[in-house]
Amino acid sequence: MTDKENITEYSSELLGERYFKVRHKSGLDVYVYPKDMVTSYALFATRYGAFDDKFRKGGANGQLVETPSGVAHYLEHRLFANEDGSDSFEKFSAFGADANAYTSYDKTVYLFSCTENFEQALRELVTFVTHPYFTKENVDKERGIISQEINMNTDNPYVRCAANLYCAMYEHHPIRCDIGGTLESISRITPEMLGDCYNTFYKMSEMVLIVCGDHTPEEVISIIDKLLPDGGVEENVLPERRKEKREACIPRTEQKMNVGKTLFTIGIKDTDIPDTPMMRIKKETAMTVLNEILFSRAGRFFSQCFESGLIGASFSCDYSLCRDVAFNLMFGESDDPDRVLSELLEYIADVRKEGLSREDFERSKKVLYAGFLREFDSTEDIANNMVDFIFDGVDLFDYLDIIKDVAYEDVCSLLDTQFDRECISLSVISPL
């Protein structure tokens, strides 16, 4: 490697772990996390997901393009096809590597794991992602496959419960649409559209390459050096920030489906989204601590509802903050989801009066720490965790301090501001 000054090392004494960041001459940020494991895991990701349905072609002053829902996911499916008629899956298989890809709301990730032939597999990953080939024929052919993926999700009551909830909470945010789109929206997707989206979002400045395994930064850079040309200064694509009203749009939604017992998701819309990456992750962490205090399986709410048979063992909760949306979800099974919601609101009112227990607060931080620690036992977990942190703009190891620094007072103030009735929607899937 020539540009040694471009290497930044990040480390954690407590974990006994470290990783390196290299700004490659192509403009790509490359992260190498050395790990003494047989399994190497690499991912190549772009900040382009289902939320990016509107963008300006050719920069900030370019033409505004609106695309049907499902384009990012469709593009991910088609990128494995090569101009010579081959499919990259075949090449990975010949190296003994296991390749895959996924699309989420805010990113698209291409990945592989292997125990040998790492160099060839990494070359293939970087090559196929940087060489799109979309023709009418191959794009049309994919429609049948993606239609079946959409049908599969149409029959999935857990997916439907969440999707209905997002439509109830949000007025116009793209979270209202499924990541894969609909049978109708994908019928409008063309090779030209995929090409436009590719050219806008698959720029090195929007992407990141992460390698975790028994490898050095020098080794990784020497492999990709010949594959990626020097890059000029590129203008970053600024994701559109949407404004949503504070309140949930519809308080309750219900669909009848092929289920054995009624499922529910309670969603609490949160429009108070901090501006800086660090403030956002701090808020997300404090909310996760609050959820653990309030809804843990060792806590009062879960115990009372479970012992009385109001909810089943599957009850869980999750706070998410992704770009311009944030919400707190509680999901489970119950014969009477409306009562679960009313009990929850009563419980919150009680806890606000009594105050949060400091013992529970400390216990909850311990739970978060242990959960985070466990993610360092697999190269796959490390790389996937890293991509989330990198796209959020925060160093992975900072998370230990972020957990430590969550103050009791922060969590108490969140308890006072969250859980307002007008921000809550209830989504129910009941048996036919």
Partner 1 sequence: MVPKLYKVFDSVDLYVYGSNKFKSEMLSVKFVLPCDVDMSPKNTLMISVLRRGTEKFVSLAHINKRLDELYASCLSVNNSLVGDNQVLGLTAEIIGSKFAYDGDSKKNNGEGDILDGVIEVISQILFYPATDENGDFKENYVSGEKVNLCDMIRSRINDTASFSVSRCREIMFGGQPYGISLMGSEEQISRITAHELTQHWKEVMSRSRLHCFYLGSQDPEVVVEKLRRHFKDRAVNDPYLPIVPNENKDISADVKVKRVDEKMPVVQGKLVLGFKFPHNAQGYAERVLNELYGSSPISKLFVNVREKLGLCYSCSSVYVATKKIMLAAAGINVSDREEAENEMISQLESIRRGEFSQLDLDSVKKSIDSGIRSGASDSLEYIQGFYFYRNLFGIDENIDEFREKISAVTAEDVVKAARSATLDTVYFLEGSVGDENGTDCEYGPIEDTEA
Question: Between residue 228 and residue 247, which ones bind partner 1 under the rule CB under 8 A?
Answer: none
User: Applying CB under 8 A, which of residues 3, 86, 145, 245 lies at the interface with partner 1?
Assistant: 145
Q: Which stretch binds partner 1 (CB under 8 A): 68-76, 108-116, 226-234, 273-281?
A: 108-116
* Residue 241: CB minimum distance to partner 1, A: 33
* Residue 306: CB minimum distance to partner 1, A: 7
DSSP per-residue letters across 121-171: HHHHHHHHHH-----HHHHHHHHHHHHHHHHHHHT-HHHHHHHHHHHHH-S
Nearer to partner 1, 39 or 320 (CB): 39
Q: Which two tokens stand for residue 223?
A: 């492999």
* Residue 344: CB minimum distance to partner 1, A: 17
Residues contacting 349, CB < 8 A, separation 6+? none
Binding status of residue 10 toward partner 1 by CB under 8 A? no
DSSP per-residue letters across 265-294: EEEEE-----SSHHHHHHHHHHHHHHHHHH
* Residue 307: CB minimum distance to partner 1, A: 7
* DSSP label at residue 206: G
Q: Which stretch binds partner 1 (CB under 8 A): 33-41, 55-63, 186-194, 246-254?
A: 33-41
Under 8 Å between Cβ of 398 and 11: no
Binding status of residue 11 toward partner 1 by CB under 8 A? no
Binding status of residue 37 toward partner 1 by CB under 8 A? yes
Distance from C-alpha of 329 to C-alpha of 287, rounded to nearest angstrom: 11
> Which one from 5, 9, 76, 83 is the annotated catalytic residue?
76
Nearer to partner 1, 147 or 271 (CB): 147
Residues facing 8 on adjacent strands:
21
Binding status of residue 358 toward partner 1 by CB under 8 A? no
Residues facing 252 on adjacent strands:
426
How many residues bind partner 1 (CB under 8 A)? The answer is 72
Q: Which two tokens stand for residue 168?
A: 């109830």
* Residue 168: CB minimum distance to partner 1, A: 21
Binding status of residue 159 toward partner 1 by CB under 8 A? no
Nearer to partner 1, 17 or 240 (CB): 17
Nearer to partner 1, 54 or 297 (CB): 297
Under 8 Å between Cβ of 166 and 176: yes
Under 8 Å between Cβ of 9 and 189: no
User: Applying CB under 8 A, which of residues 46, 67, 69, 113 lies at the interface with partner 1?
Assistant: 113
Binding status of residue 182 toward partner 1 by CB under 8 A? no
Binding status of residue 407 toward partner 1 by CB under 8 A? no
- Count the residues in the chain: 432
User: Applying CB under 8 A, which of residues 8, 11, 86, 148 lies at the interface with partner 1?
Assistant: 148
Residues facing 11 on adjacent strands:
18
Q: Which two tokens stand for residue 16?
A: 């006994």
Q: Which stretch binds partner 1 (CB under 8 A): 31-39, 245-253, 279-287, 390-398?
A: 31-39
Q: Which two tokens stand for residue 328?
A: 């707190």
Query: What is the footprint of partner 1 within residues 245-304 (CB under 8 A)?
Result: 258-261, 263, 296-300, 302-303
Under 8 Å between Cβ of 99 and 112: yes
Pairing between β-strand 207-213 and β-strand 29-34 as defined by DSSP bridges: parallel
* Residue 278: CB minimum distance to partner 1, A: 19
* Residue 340: CB minimum distance to partner 1, A: 15
Distance from C-alpha of 310 to C-alpha of 261, rounded to nearest angstrom: 12
218 noted as active-site residue: no
Q: Looking at this protein, which amino acid is placed at residue 375?
A: E
Nearer to partner 1, 25 or 143 (CB): 143
Q: Which of 255, 284, 261 is nearest to 393 (CA)?
A: 284
Binding status of residue 83 toward partner 1 by CB under 8 A? no
Distance from C-alpha of 175 to C-alpha of 51, rounded to nearest angstrom: 7
Q: Which two tokens stand for residue 62?
A: 């370019």
Binding status of residue 409 toward partner 1 by CB under 8 A? no
Distance from C-alpha of 148 to C-alpha of 139, rounded to nearest angstrom: 15
Nearer to partner 1, 114 or 423 (CB): 114
User: Applying CB under 8 A, which of residues 11, 86, 135, 156 lies at the interface with partner 1?
Assistant: 156
Nearer to partner 1, 81 or 207 (CB): 81
Query: What is the footprint of partner 1 within residues 301-330 (CB under 8 A)?
Result: 302-303, 306-307, 309, 312-313
Under 8 Å between Cβ of 139 and 179: no
* Residue 36: CB minimum distance to partner 1, A: 7
Binding status of residue 8 toward partner 1 by CB under 8 A? no
Task: Tell me the catalytic residues.
Answer: 76
